[in-house]
Amino acid sequence: METLSNLADGFVIALTLQNLFLALLGCFLGTVIGALPGLGPSNGVAILIPLAFTLGLPATPALILLTSVYYGAMYGGRISSILLNIPGDEPAMMTTLDGYPMAQQGRAGEALALSGVASFVGAFFATWGLVFLAPQLVKVALLFGPAEYFALFSLAFATLGGIASRNQAKAAMAAALGLGIAMIGVDGQTGVPRFAFGNVHFYDGIDFLVAIVGLFAVSEVFVFLEHRGEARGAGQEDKMKLGRVTPSLATLAGTGWTMARSTVLGFLSGVLPGAGASLGSFISYSVEKRLVDREGTFGTGDPRGVAAPEAGNNAAAGGALVPMLALGVPGSGTTAVLLAMLLALNITPGPLLFQSNPDVVWGLVAALFIGNLMLLLLNIPMVSLFVRVLLVPPKYLMPIVAMISFVGIYGISGSTFDLLVMIVFGVIGWVLRKLEVPLVPIILGVLLGNEMESNLRRALTISDGDWSILVGSPLAIILWALAITGFVLPMLFGRFFRMRMRHERAGEEGADPD
């Protein structure tokens, strides 16, 4: 099979000493980032992109490093959920429901080990899903013309706004802000400057890395400043007994079907553009609760309640890579950040990537398999080491995060102006988070804005200014129909859905936007 031989080639690329080392480093850093409350996959990857970029790593190794961080963060998020009842990131929110009660019963080690295995199962099979689904999607994507691409981008914004936010107007506003920011700078097709106000710094446009790091990482510092002194963070875990750090065979056998079902559900919700890992873990948990919770033990430390959301969110993390790689449309906040990295490395994801740079794609997929295995090995025996990471208090952690953000952005351009723009984005990010305006559509807008506009203009050039070309093919009509459904349907069901989610676990304000 062609796919498998491609994958074998990928392993040849990934199995060099340098790439193995980068995968290991990424997995380790990722787990630490995921475990630390206040740092999650999106902002963790965001502050590392400029660094990977300035270190001059070639595309494949850089991608291997950062996707390992991404997978690692998904693993790491569970640690503080289980031990402290504080999700390390939003997808790990559901893990607190049964993980923390297990820890209180002195079964913390078991919960950590079990969730480690569940994460592995979810991510492992989702990576296989990626291997087989992505090339199929590429075949469809090859039929896309500019009009279809424009519809596809609209679809991404619509579903992202529909599912990821409680208020569609705020999601639309965020998308418009992002797109508006992308318009700044010299227009690629006619060469006229737009929204530059005669300032030379604006002629190149606003670097999306500056925007991402500002919105995700710098704003986090302000959130912590705002909540200083409130009960949040480390302090109580030294009382916590880890207990045995291997899951018993009986527990594993008892959670097998749960993991299998959650993996499928998680993967599917990851593939949907805009849904992401939070939805994956939520759906998995709710479905399992309905299916197998006959004695009402969910919420009181049921191992199945730990396995379901962890398998679900890691499977979603893998699933979210499918639309990102095959179509260039990210499925979640963190994959939007990964997309930013690809663009920074001058790689445009999408169907052409599979043809022109198969080494990047398959090297990455192989690295995901390897990283996954490393994460399992890192996470089971070394979990007590990661637990110690939780002891770093925010008063030392957040200055480090802020300073590393500055180092990364300064490293790219050496320009004070970019640093100031980053701070402005940090403030905007903080205010918008207070008002519950989602940040991910902004990032998506900044990333996709120019591509979206040039597809629209190309389509209208083909049709010589006739707008009907946008709905001129069955494929485009399907995409528009999906976009409208994705935007309208959550208005009817989404409110109910989000309320349930909040109800099950009072939402952490300013949690990681994935």
Partner 1 sequence: MSDRVLGGCGLLLAFFYIWQATQIRVSFISDPLGPKSFPIIIGAMLGLASLYMILRPDPEPVWPRFARLFEIAVAVAVLAAYAMLLPELGFVISTALAAAFLSWRLGAGPIAAPVAGIGISLGIYAVFHLILGLSLARGPLGL
Q: What residues make contact with partner 1 under the rule CB under 8 A?
A: 51, 54-55, 166-167, 169-170, 172-173, 175-177, 179-180, 183, 187, 189-192, 194-195, 218, 221-222, 224-226, 228-229, 393-396, 398-400, 402-404, 406-407, 410-411, 414, 416, 419-420, 423, 426-427, 430, 434-437, 452-453, 456-457, 460-461, 464-465
Residue among 204 and 436 whose Cβ is closer to partner 1: 436
Of 91, 82, 66, 73, nearest to 36 by C-alpha is 73
Q: Which residue, 169 or 489, is less far from partner 1 as judged by CB? A: 169
CB of 473 to partner 1, least distance (A): 19
Q: Which is nearer to partner 1, 8 or 407 (CB)?
A: 407
**What are the start-end ranges of the E strands in 83-189?**
185-186
Handedness of CA 258, 260, 263, 269 (dihedral sign): negative
Q: Least distance to partner 1 from the beta carbon of 273, Å?
A: 19
| Beta carbon of residue 195, minimum distance to partner 1 (angstroms, whole number) | 6
Nearer to partner 1, 19 or 281 (CB): 19
Angle, alpha carbons 236-239-241 (nearest 5°): 125
- Compare residues 72 and 408 and give the one whose CB is closer to partner 1: 408
Closest to partner 1 by CB, 132 or 203:
203
Largest CA distance in the chain: 71
Q: How far apart are CA 204 and CA 186, in angstroms?
A: 6
Residue labelled with tokens 């504080």 = 86
List Cβ neighbours of 194 (8 Å cut-off, separation of 6 or more).
183, 184, 185, 186, 187
CA 158 to CA 162: how far, in whole Å? 6
Nearer to partner 1, 435 or 481 (CB): 435
For the CB of residue 475, give the shortest distance to partner 1 in the complex, in Å.
21
Alpha carbon distance 158, 142 (integer Å): 22
**In angstroms, what is the minimal distance from the CB of 352 to partner 1?**
22
Which token pair is 183? 């318009």
Give the shortest CB-172-to-partner 1 separation in angstroms. 4
Fill in the DSSP letter of residue 398.
H
As measured in angstroms, the least distance from the Cβ of 23 to partner 1 is 18
- The residue among 132 and 466 lying less far from partner 1, judged by its C-beta, is 466
Q: Report the C-alpha gap between 238 and 84 in whole angstroms.
A: 11
∠ CA(313), CA(446), CA(160), 5° rounding? 40
| Smallest distance, partner 1 to C-beta of residue 189, A | 6
φ/ψ (deg, to 5) at 361: -60, -55
Rounded distance between C-alpha atoms, residue 510 and residue 440, angstroms: 13
Residue placing its CB nearer to partner 1 in the complex, 347 or 437 = 437
CB of 445 to partner 1, least distance (A): 9
- The 10 Å Cβ neighbour count of residue 244 is 12
